[in-house]
Amino acid sequence: MNFNYTEKITSLQDKLNAFFEEHILPIEQEVSTFNYSAENRWKRWPGMDDLKAKAKAAGLWNLFLPKSYGDLSPGLTNLEYAPLAEIMGRVLWSSEVFNCNAPDTGNMEVLAKYGSPDQQKQWLEPLMNGDIRSAFLMTEPQVASSDATNIETSITLDGDEYVINGRKWWSSGGMDPHCKIAIVMGKTNPDAPRHQQQSMILVPMDTPGLNVIRPLSVFGFYDSPEGHAEIVLENVRVPKENLILGEGRGFEIAQGRLGPGRIHHCMRLIGMAQRSLELMSQRASERIAFGKTFKDFSSIRQEIAQSQCEIEQARLLTLSAADKMDKEGNKTSKDLIAMIKIVAPNMALNVIDRAMQIHGGKGVGPDTPLAHFFVAARMLRLADGPDEVHMYQLGKSVINKHAKIKI
């Protein structure tokens, strides 16, 4: 047991922080303002490709893909990548610069792990190069998709093609002009056992019948240029080779996809929370009311102390989950992964909310990243499974573990 980062990690942190100092922070507000303005909606900030090239040149590229993937991977474990994801979380739009943004990361993992050579050639390569983006079409408006067995989209074999029908929403990234490919979850085998009914299939975004109905706003944010799309699939036909892994294996793929993604999300949330704490500390050291600087109010110190405690705990928990995943794999780590998925978004919401409050009106407006952080964190109490589902399964697992122990 050892709570210090290795030198490998600290030197990567230094490098990434330096990149942020030089290339990201100076233009943070400019990019955000571009993304927020109605006239630029669904356009990409023009400097993005240049930034990506710089990150690639600096070797800060695809860091998310664990070394277990061999040559495809830049060689980090989950535990080594986690502190870097934390840094990326500090600026909402920055992950793409390093080709480390959801949902592309998860989609790349799926293709790297389960994709056929052809699928990899056609879609994984350009994704790894950052030339295109992708979407993941899972959630459906008509059913409680938190119970994934509810999902109703049909994928039916017809000759050499699969025909897909259904309605999906909250397909993040689906509005991006670079988004070229979607992974769609649906039912191929409605009569099979509950967890073998589903499959995943690759659907190019320009396939006829795939219609983006509208972008969804989240608390008023549109998250341009990626966006969150509502998509209707109406008799969408793709070659049968587009199926991933095989019929009825959708759940298996979904399980494999989620573990690392949750580490990433949670570490980014920790980055958001950490930065919020820093912003709140700075604000507290500057503002004056009733004859006192904010930092001399005990209530403000309490909020900052509480935030520090909550952040550090969530960080350790997430790192320990990454460590366990590296050592024992995703499946054995499932309780710990559920734990971070429950803890991190709620922790971040608490910290960010306090930071907003200390900032007064500025805190809910467009001049700090706080309000957008809050919405991103709130979204993550729902995305990849709502808190309640994780608690339902974790609670069951803990009870079963202890039910028989004599104490």
Residues between 46 and 85 with contacts to its own copies, criterion CB under 8 A:
79
**Least distance from its own copies to the Cβ atom of residue 64, Å:** 18
Could you say which of 157, 192, 213, 309 contacts its own copies (CB under 8 A)? 309
**Contact present, 312 and 353 (Cβ < 8 Å):** no
Q: What are φ and ψ of residue 170, in 5° steps?
A: 55, 35
* Whole-angstrom distance, CA of residue 2 vs CA of residue 316: 11
* Whole-angstrom distance, CA of residue 315 vs CA of residue 343: 10
Stretch that binds its own copies, among 44-52, 98-106, 108-116, 300-308 (CB under 8 A): 300-308
Subset of 107-126 contacting its own copies (CB under 8 A): none
> Does residue 217 touch its own copies according to CB under 8 A?
yes
> What's the DSSP call for residue 245?
S
Distances (CA, A) of 381 to 28, 108, 114, 185: 26, 23, 28, 21
Stretch that binds its own copies, among 92-100, 118-126, 195-203, 370-378 (CB under 8 A): 370-378
> Does residue 314 touch its own copies according to CB under 8 A?
yes
Stretch that binds its own copies, among 57-65, 200-208, 236-244, 316-324 (CB under 8 A): 316-324
Q: Cβ closer to its own copies: 37 or 235? A: 37
> Does residue 374 touch its own copies according to CB under 8 A?
yes
> Does residue 136 touch its own copies according to CB under 8 A?
no
Binding mask 265-284 for its own copies (x = CB under 8 A): ----------x-xxx-xx-x
**Least distance from its own copies to the Cβ atom of residue 144, Å:** 4
Could you say which of 84, 273, 300, 351 contacts its own copies (CB under 8 A)? 300
> Does residue 213 touch its own copies according to CB under 8 A?
no
Subset of 1-20 contacting its own copies (CB under 8 A): 1-6, 9
Q: Cβ closer to its own copies: 120 or 320? A: 320
**Closest of 325, 323, 342 to residue 333, by C-alpha:** 325
**Contact present, 43 and 31 (Cβ < 8 Å):** no
> Does residue 363 touch its own copies according to CB under 8 A?
yes
> Does residue 105 touch its own copies according to CB under 8 A?
no
**Closest of 302, 292, 291 to residue 357, by C-alpha:** 302
Could you say which of 178, 375, 377, 384 contacts its own copies (CB under 8 A)? 375
**Least distance from its own copies to the Cβ atom of residue 55, Å:** 20
* Whole-angstrom distance, CA of residue 110 vs CA of residue 105: 9
> Does residue 187 touch its own copies according to CB under 8 A?
no
Give residue for tokens 């980014």. 268
Q: Which parts of 48-90 fold into alpha helices (H)?
A: 48-57, 78-89
**Least distance from its own copies to the Cβ atom of residue 47, Å:** 21
Q: Cβ closer to its own copies: 37 or 129? A: 37
* Whole-angstrom distance, CA of residue 314 vs CA of residue 265: 12
Could you say which of 121, 240, 327, 331 contacts its own copies (CB under 8 A)? 327
R_g of the chain computed on alpha carbons: 22
**Contact present, 96 and 48 (Cβ < 8 Å):** yes
Q: Which parts of 24-120 fold into alpha helices (H)?
A: 28-36, 48-57, 78-89, 104-114, 117-119
